[in-house]
Amino acid sequence: MWRPPALFVPWSLFAVLCCALMAASPGEETIPFHLGWITLCLSYGFALWPPAVTLLSTAVYAVASGAVLVGRASDGVIGWQETAEIPLMALMAFVMAWHVARRVESMRQLGILADAERVRHEERERLSRMYSHEMRTPLTIARGYVSLLQEEDLTGEQHEDLSVIDDELGTLERVGERLVRTLAVSDHQERRAVDVDALVDEVVTRWGNVTARNWVVDSDVGTFTCSRERVRMCLDTLVENALRYTDVDDTVRVFARRAGDTVELGVADSGPGLADDVVDAVNLEPRVIETLQMDVRRQTGLGLELVRQVAESRGGTIRAGRAAEGGAEITLTMPRTPLPPHPVSREEMNVVPGAPRMVRTRLDAGG
């Protein structure tokens, strides 16, 4: 049994009323004539009738209302040019229906894309969980056993072999961490006001508890609207790179500063610095960072590519250079949001120009 679509019956009754008013009001047909077409468009827009119902409704109303206009023109009440509105209004209704149909199809396609993105997000979460439970734990256990064996009374050659095994396990562990970071970059992260100074402090504290370096925090940005998790991931990646370039006696400085309409965040160190091909790739050809061929110990390319993706998603860039400490400096530059950070005067900070906000003493070997 056929059931009329929503709003079809109310519109049909109103259309009959409009035709009756047109027939009963010679010379005043314009208002009810157009009201019928307007309500037709409104009803279709809210209810999206099937094509057959839309076509039939448009044709019936065009014939019924048009018959009244043609009769009035034959009687000389209105000019024949007024009847041109009959096909024009019908054409307008068809164009409206076509645009609404396109909108609905676009929404359907967006729904499909959203479902696909949800599936990809679930797959990324599954991969993250798989790494956490099926890769990280065995690697940690294996490295623990290697450490125990290294404490045994072994020959020099055996110790060297165990060191190679431990290095390779460490490489696998770092690759797994980068995989998780890559998945995190692909996910949408909510942007909100973040205390960047506290975030930089948190990053340095967390790394300083496990790695002995001369850690320096240099941050006076204040509040910045961004994705906290993505910014922290960028700093973690840059710190990890700096640690592979430095030793216990070296300095690692994590900084965040205002620079005009932008905010600059990054990591500098006192190590040997980046190779020329890395600097050129970052500064001149950022799209090929991931293709760099670097030695196994450093493995900088993937980390910088992750940072670049975050920077570009925020409308920013990354740049490599020489740090004041003599080593590498990687800077992530992002435009400031409409929520400007509260300016902090140098008198309030009680520091000289260019001095770090806080300098941490070197951690002892025990971390």
For each of the chain's 367 residues, which pLDDT tens digit applies? Answer: 668 888 888 889 999 999 999 988 888 888 899 999 988 888 887 888 888 888 888 899 999 998 998 988 888 888 888 888 888 888 888 888 888 888 888 888 988 988 888 887 777 667 666 666 566 667 777 888 888 888 888 888 888 888 888 888 877 777 776 666 665 555 555 677 889 999 999 999 988 887 889 999 999 888 888 888 788 888 888 898 888 889 989 999 999 999 888 899 999 999 888 878 778 777 765 554 444 444 433 444 556 777 887 788 778 888 888 889 989 999 988 888 643 433 434 333 343 333 444 443 333 333 3
Last residue of a domain, one of 170, 188, 206: 188
The alpha helices in the chain, defined as continuous H runs, are 8-24, 30-47, 51-75, 85-130, 137-150, 156-186, 196-208, 228-245, 276-283, 300-313, 346-349
111 in any annotated domain: yes
Does one domain contain both 263 and 129?
Answer: no
366 in any annotated domain: no
Task: State phi, psi for 84 to the nearest 5 degrees.
Answer: -65, -20
Does one domain contain both 197 and 139?
Answer: no
Last residue of a domain, one of 133, 159, 188: 188
367 in any annotated domain: no
Per-residue CA distances from 30 to 41, 78, 79, 266 (Å): 17, 10, 12, 69
Does one domain contain both 141 and 209?
Answer: no
Closest CA to 16 of 35, 44, 43: 35
Which residue in this structure is represented by tokens 């973040």? 194
Task: State phi, psi for 114 to the nearest 5 degrees.
Answer: -65, -40
Does one domain contain both 226 and 351?
Answer: yes
Which residue in this structure is represented by tokens 């309500």? 39
Per-residue CA distances from 274 to 184, 249, 280 (Å): 26, 18, 10
Does one domain contain both 158 and 75?
Answer: yes
Domain count, the chain: 2
Does one domain contain both 278 and 315?
Answer: yes
Does one domain contain both 212 and 353?
Answer: yes
Question: What b/e string do you get for 31-47 counting C-beta neighbours within 10 Å, with b at 16 or more?
Answer: ebbebbbebbbebbeee
364 in any annotated domain: no
Does one domain contain both 260 and 273?
Answer: yes
Does one domain contain both 197 and 178?
Answer: no
Q: The domain containing residue 325 runs over which residues?
A: 191-359
Q: How far is 334 from 6, CA to CA, in rounded Å?
A: 50
Does one domain contain both 140 and 55?
Answer: yes
Q: Report the predicted TM-score, pTM, of the whole model to 2 decimal places.
A: 0.48
Does one domain contain both 171 and 227?
Answer: no
365 in any annotated domain: no
Does one domain contain both 184 and 211?
Answer: no
